[in-house]
A and B are shown apart, each in its own frame.
Chain A
Amino acid sequence: MNKGTNHISTDQIQAYLDQGLDQAEHQEVEIHLDQCPACREELSRLEIIFARLKKLPPLELEKDLSLAVLAQLREESKLSLGITWTLVLEALGAGTVIGLLIPAIRAASWLPVLADTKTEIQAAINIFLTQLASSWLVWWAGLRMNIEQTAKSLFSTIYSPSIEFSPWILILAAGGIGLLANYILLRSDPIRGRNHKY
């Protein structure tokens, strides 16, 4: 019941129509409606809305959307396979770049300068870099030896002079792998072929 008036609120009438009141409230509203023409009028006003909404006929769909949806799903499943392989290549490329970058940084001329400095901040950076690098270097040293041995023995059978594998050559090789992976990624563009907007 509304405070200060003798009528029940519109919200209560709506809850009554929605069967959203407990039994006691429901009965209370029913008793009030029996006695109050103004609230009955509000009730019938809302009942008309309920009835009109119920009578609203469905609209006819003019085309079959299933073919378009299925075509899109088939396209997506093809793309997702392509993307999976591209991601594998990307991950390999990224791993190679990181693996090659650490020894290259180590070999670069500015690192010893940083190592020799005495300021606290630079020393902290140096410790961090050294710890980061050492973990990679342990892994990389073994791998590089294997790669270099294999590559050198392979190349020495083709060219007589032996080839020096400087870090920069290895970085260029990693860049090449990254570019190749990106090229494949762009070719399997997941946006292409999706004609819906969302």
Chain B
Amino acid sequence: MVVPGEQALIKKVKKGDLDAYGAIIQDYQSSVFNVCYRVLGNRQEAEDLTQEAFLRAYHQISSFDLSRPFGPWMRTLAANLCYNHLKKARLNRVPLEDERDTIKDDPKYGPEGALEIDQEHKVLYQAIWKLPEVQRIALELRHFQGLSYQEMAEALHLPLNTVRSHLYRGRQKLAELLEEENE
């Protein structure tokens, strides 16, 4: 569903109005950051890629269909950007594994009351980051962005069966990792 007022703002952005784009960024930066964080597992990198995603989106805004909501388009663009970044990092042998956040040090996941729930989320984040990147991105697009198999295939430029297979394996692997953690 298109957010009221959003269409008018994007029309302005298409004409080069940067102030209108500033309003769009403020509305979506948090959700885009979360996409990047879930996929990358590193806060600083997630912030950098969030910025980069908004820069790319601005340059590609002419191709954006105004009859569709901006949020899913933006988040899918960000997810794809992060996926390509991870692939490139792997090829360049950047040791992303070592740089990934260990959420236990984040004060937002501190004690005070909901320790049990927070621990559960920490474990889940860590398990997600242990998945191969293609499985991680498949989970992101399906579970957090609600894309259909077909939409995922289009976003990742992969055949539908391949995407489905990555998603299924990702879930299986995630279940195994979480079970290992519970043992």
Contacts and interface: CB of A to CB of B under 8 A. Distances in A.
B124 A69 contact: no
B27 to A, nearest CB: 10
Given A66-B26, A72-B55, A59 B108 contact: yes
A65 B178 contact: no
B34 A65 contact: no
Contacts, number: 96
Given A11-B168, A14-B167, A59-B37, A65 B55 contact: no
Nearest to A58: B34
B18 A59 contact: no
B47 A65 contact: yes
B162 interface: no
Contact of A70 (B21, B30, B31, B174): B21
B121 A56 contact: yes
Contacts of A70: 18, 21-22, 25
Contacts of A10: 168, 172
B11 to A, nearest CB: 17
Interface residues of B, number: 42
B74 interface: no
Contacts of B144: 53
Contacts of A22: none
8 contacts: A20-B149, A45-B175, A48-B175, A58-B31, A58-B34, A60-B30, A65-B54, A69-B51
Interface of B: 18, 21-22, 25-26, 29-31, 33-34, 37-38, 43, 47-52, 54-55, 58, 81, 85, 108, 120-121, 124-125, 139, 142-144, 149, 164, 167-168, 171-172, 174-175, 178
B109 to A, nearest CB: 9
Interface size class of A (residues with CB under 8 A): 35 or more
Interface of A: 10-11, 14-15, 18, 20, 45-46, 48-50, 52-61, 63-70, 72-74, 196-198
Contacts of A60: 30, 108
Contact of B55 (A20, A61, A63, A196): A196
A18 B143 CA distance: 10
Looking at A58, A61, A70, A72, the one whose CB has the most chain B CB atoms below 10 A away is A61
A100 to B, nearest CB: 38
